[in-house]
Amino acid sequence: MSLVRLDRSGGVVTLNLARPETRNALNSEMIAELTQAFRELSTDDSIRVLILAADGQTFCAGADANWMKSQKGVSETENLADAQKIFDLFRLVYEFPHPIIARVQGGAYGGGAGLMCCSDIVVMTDDAQTAFSEVRLGVVPATISTFVLRKIGEGRARELFLTGRRITAQECLNLGLATEVVSADKLDQAVIRWADELLKASPTAQMVTKELLREVPQLTLDQAREFTPLRIARQRVSAEGQEGLAALLEKRNPQWSMPQ
Residues acting as catalytic residues: 134
* DSSP-derived secondary structure for 29-40: HHHHHHHHHHHH
The phi and psi torsions of 19 (rounded to 5 degrees) equal -135, 55
The number of C-alpha atoms within 13 Å of 156 and in the hemisphere containing its C-beta is: 15
CA atoms of 124 and 202, how far apart (whole Å): 26
Q: How many CB atoms lie within 10 A of CB 149?
A: 17
- Strand, helix or coil at 87? helix
CA atoms of 121 and 198, how far apart (whole Å): 10
Question: Would you say 128 and 104 are in contact if contact means Cβ atoms under 8 Å apart?
Answer: yes
CA atoms of 90 and 114, how far apart (whole Å): 7
DSSP state of 8: E
Alpha-carbon separation of residue 43 from 26, 214, 247, 251 (angstroms): 24, 19, 28, 33
